[in-house]
Amino acid sequence: MFMITHLFETSVRRKSLTCFNTKKRTKNNNVKQLGKSEINTIDYSVIPWNRLIHWEGRANNVPTILSVLEHGARHDRRMALVTLSGFVEQKGGVIIATPILLSYLLNNLDRFSDNQDLVLRLLLKVAKAVGLQWEVFLDSKEFEGLSFSASIWEEGSPYLWPKEMSAVEEASLWNSIDPMLYFDHAWYYTLEVLESFRLSILSIDARDGIEQGMIYELETILNMVASQNRNIVAIDNFSFEYEDVLLSPIDQIYLDDIHTNLTKDVSKFLSFDLIDNVAFTKEYIRASVVENKRGAALVLVVKDRHTQMFLGGCGIQDVNVHTAEIGFWLKKEVQGKGYGRQVVGALLKLIKECVDTKEIIYTVEQGNEVSVYLAEKLGFSKGKDFILEPTVFKNKLRYMSQYRLTLK
């Protein structure tokens, strides 16, 4: 989901055999799992907000916002949440006040239950920012020794601003701000807080399909950014046979096959509106190759293993130790000939043999009867239905059904 634009209607995961390198890469392995009791001891009333910064400037207006959240009428609390949303994230970035305010929200989820929709939107906004920058910090060593704690706002903290400054001095300080301290470290602390409250977030009881859709997106992101080891697929000479199908890594050599066969009819249940431009297909292939090398996905093409005829595409997306999603598409002329069952069967076998994960997710758009049939036939259990809101890639509400298969 959050890694690349899917050309698939669902997703899957993976383990380790000869199809994977034996060397493991550590992702965010230095993230400390904070105890919730530790975060619960924070006294937000004594934090020197006037010496911290959020995206709108000095955070000296935060106490007023928190007071409204705790004592205001529902409408006023909604407006306060909207204001808070602008403080904690802008343009895909977080800032030093973000993890502190995030911990406040997550510590008080029950208090904001009547505005749960806005809380979920704020959480998803922050999670998406963390997910976006996660790719930049995959192997970074700059966070060693850091941990979210009161030391961020206690006297002597490098994140605190002087108590009083002239307007000229303050403008100068903004212009010379240290991005590592105020943005990079903020990203790491925000990731820590999200990890610590992961189960609480995923346990939120959705009140409608839209909220359930946001929880689904949050689960995908939180599972991906969780501290974990991943084996990277040895792409060179990789192939996987199952019955009559052959799976091979996506490559620019399949550009014409993909562009020609990914028609409007074929793509109607996929997560994007078809753009009939070869440059779009070329960029999709390029991004998929990057994800394959990174270990976040395994994007493949499907061929008939006897004739080598191109059949379509499939993949294991959002690969992590908790979950992985599967999906596929077939060109129109081979649909209804049994290849769909074989492709899903191949993906399941590939995951069980080569992917270290606990659960396979297969998410299908309601009305896609073939995928629903395959999920039920292959032993998946029906999960939650939800609604995905329009995106820049898919300009419509998508009514989805989720199926899950537990591996261990």
Q: What is the chain's mean pLDDT, rounded?
A: 89
Percent of the chain with pLDDT over 70: 90
Classify the C-alpha dihedral 264-291-92-202 as positive or negative. Answer: positive
355-368 pLDDT tens trace = 889 999 999 999 99
Which CATH number is 240-406 given? 3.40.630.30
Q: Where along the chain do its domains lie?
A: 3-9+27-206, 240-406
Confidence of residue 2 (pLDDT cuts 50, 70, 90): very low
25-42 pLDDT tens trace = 334 444 444 555 567 789
Least confident of 19-23, 43-47, 316-320: 19-23
8 A C-beta contact, residue 324 and residue 10? no
8 A C-beta contact, residue 241 and residue 305? yes
Spatial neighbors of 323 by CB under 8 A, at least 6 apart, are 13, 219, 220, 223, 357, 358, 359, 360, 361
206-218 pLDDT tens trace = 999 999 999 999 9
To the question of pTM greater than 0.75 for the whole model, the response is yes
8 A C-beta contact, residue 222 and residue 321? no
| Stretch 186-205: mean pLDDT | 96
Spatial neighbors of 348 by CB under 8 A, at least 6 apart, are 12, 326, 360, 378, 405
Distances in Å between the alpha carbon of 66 and those of 45, 118, 132? 9, 15, 28
225-252 pLDDT tens trace = 988 877 666 777 789 999 999 999 999 9
241-297 pLDDT tens trace = 999 999 999 999 999 999 999 998 998 888 888 888 999 999 999 999 988 888 889
